A = this chain, B = another copy of it.
Amino acid sequence: SRSIDLAVIPGDGIGQEVVTQGLKVLNAVLPQDVKLETKEYDLGAQRWHRTGETLPDAELEALKGHDAILLGAIGDPSVPSGVLERGLLLKLRFAFDHYVNLRPSKLFPNTASPLAGRPEIDFVVVREGTEGPYTGNGGSLRTGTEHEVATEVSVNTAYGVERVVRDAFARAAGRPRKKLTLVHKNNVLVHAGHLWKNIFDKVAAEYPEVATDYLHVDAATIFFVTQPERFDVIVTDNLFGDILTDLAAAVTGGIGLAASGNINPTGAFPSMFEPVHGTAPDIAGQGKADPTATVLSVALLLRHLGYEAEAVRIEEAVSADLAEREGQAARSTDEIGDALAVRVAS
């Protein structure tokens, strides 16, 4: 019989609330014969305040044993900036070699998009997840003095770029429009830019059926606002992907709907699924958070584990739920979770 062994990291702020709903919908959508086991990990701001730990080796080791990880959100204003991001979230992405950071963007009905009424928007950003300016390379000299010099080094390897570019081409080839756009800034970041462009062009030759395109990151932001329907699959570096996917969320349904997967396509390590939004401390604990992004992340998780039909059921439920949202009173986190659980079960 089939089973899913899931690690759950609720994290901070609204993380716990949205993860609860994600699990509710997961339970509702899974066929009877699939056994779901979950284990919760207490990681995040509270743990750090209590023990000073972000992600101890023993827990990193234990996490490795699961089929996948569901993460809520990490971070709190009470923790110095970077401590949890680098010590926990990015540590997981790097330790588990999550080189494909997958972020779909879709314009759902009745959302807060300033672009409502536009033609269909449905693209996916394949963000590199283990290189670029996220490697932690760099440092500072004469720190805190008027002579300080601080550097950040973006590291890009042929190995790292090629594997994510290949993944993006394969995804593009599998979609109806078969279009892939490389986003970089190769007129300024010439070394990294040329590496990306050369590898992109090389792999493109193996995919004659995929139409390709290149945009500088600054120009890409303009098209996200004025013509988002031109995009199908986008492949880009870690930092540009970070920026573009928040913007993508803003122009489609809002950050409350943006899902993501930190994927290791080889299966060597568990992949991790999380909403793109943060911990939203201002509304935490009030039942106001929209769990939809987490529920959509659960769909990505299911697809990754081979439960395609269940993933589609969740995505259709979200579409239907949003379509009926018009004119409705604001619903609580729990009510949205319940509504989606009912839809996927039926």
Residues on A lying within 8 angstroms of B by beta carbon are 75, 81-82, 85-86, 90, 112, 114-115, 133-134, 136-140, 142, 144-159, 162, 185-195, 197-198, 217-219, 221-222, 224-226, 239, 242-243, 245-247, 249-251, 254-255, 278
**Which residues of chain B are within 8 angstroms of A138 by Cβ–Cβ distance?**
153-154, 189, 191-192
**Which residues of chain B are within 8 angstroms of A218 by Cβ–Cβ distance?**
242-243, 245-247
Contact of A152 among B192, B219, B224, B243 (CB under 8 A): B192
Give A237's nearest chain B residue, CB to CB. Answer: B152
**Which residues of chain B are within 8 angstroms of A142 by Cβ–Cβ distance?**
158
Q: A186-B82, A188-B90, A194-B140 are in contact. Are A251 and B225 (CB under 8 A)?
A: yes
Q: Indicate if the CB atoms of B255 and A222 lie closer than 8 Å.
A: yes
Q: A138-B192, A222-B247 are in contact. Are A155 and B145 (CB under 8 A)?
A: no
Q: Indicate if the CB atoms of B191 and A151 lie closer than 8 Å.
A: yes
**Which residues of chain B are within 8 angstroms of A115 by Cβ–Cβ distance?**
114
**15 examples of A-B residue contacts, CB within 8 angstroms:** A75-B187, A82-B186, A86-B187, A86-B188, A139-B191, A145-B158, A149-B157, A152-B153, A152-B189, A217-B242, A218-B242, A218-B245, A222-B246, A226-B250, A247-B247
